[in-house]
Amino acid sequence: MNQSNSDKYFYIYTLLHQIRHATFRIRDKEIQQFGSTSQRVAVIFIAKLLEGRATPAEIARWLFRKPNTISILTNKMAKEGLINKVHDLNRRNHVRIQVTNKGNTLYNRTLKRISINRIFSCLSDEECDKTIEYLRKIWDRCMKELGDNHHQVFPIMESIKSAKYNIFEISDKSE
């Protein structure tokens, strides 16, 4: 690899990092109007996706966070009434995360993702498809580097796109 490629790679890395932080700040600002954060909504999303199989450790794996970080967050969320932590009858030292009605209400209110739509609407459909293609290629390389302990996000995309989760369509429930 020559210096020119190394510089390009670092520029891409830096740009992705800054885009991630900027979009998260914008999304958090949007979610703050509902009295919450994107981290809480992400925990609720994963708990719903895992349909009763969600534990703090499993959520941590999906969100690329340390288990202790998610454990602290889920404790706070339980106190706020967004989730319930239910002891697993089969494994006494495990708890399952269940989304409460209050958590579901928050989740449904955040489905429109107005800020995300506004940001990415600068891309045409073709540009979106190409961006996804390129980012998936980078994602695959990252997963190869990290090993088998991390979940592949993209195999779950079909579940995410399904009507069951309805996150790729605007929901009227949040109004």
For 47-94, write each residue's pLDDT tens digit.
998 888 899 988 998 888 898 999 999 999 999 999 999 987 677 678
Q: Scanning the structure block, which residue is given the tokens 């790679």?
A: 9
Task: Give me the pLDDT at residue 119, please.
Answer: 95
Helix intervals (H) in 33-64:
38-49, 56-63
CA distance 79 to 89: 22
Task: Give me the pLDDT at residue 173, please.
Answer: 36
Task: Give me the pLDDT at residue 68, please.
Answer: 92
Q: Looking at this protein, which amino acid is placed at residue 57?
A: A
Segment 85-142, tens digit of pLDDT = 998 767 767 889 999 999 999 999 998 889 999 999 999 999 998 998 898 889 888 8
Indicate the pLDDT class of residue 164, thresholds 50, 70 and 90.
very low
CA distance 39 to 104: 15
Task: Give me the pLDDT at residue 169, please.
Answer: 38
Task: Give me the pLDDT at residue 4, please.
Answer: 84
Task: Give me the pLDDT at residue 149, please.
Answer: 59
Q: Scanning the structure block, which residue is given the tokens 């079909």?
A: 158
Task: Give me the pLDDT at residue 146, please.
Answer: 81
Count Cα atoms within 13 angstroms, Cβ side, for 72: 5
Task: Give me the pLDDT at residue 139, please.
Answer: 83
* pTM exceeds cut of 0.85: no
% helix, strand, coil for the chain, step of 5: 65, 5, 30
Give the number of other Cβ atoms within 10 Å of residue 87's Cβ: 10
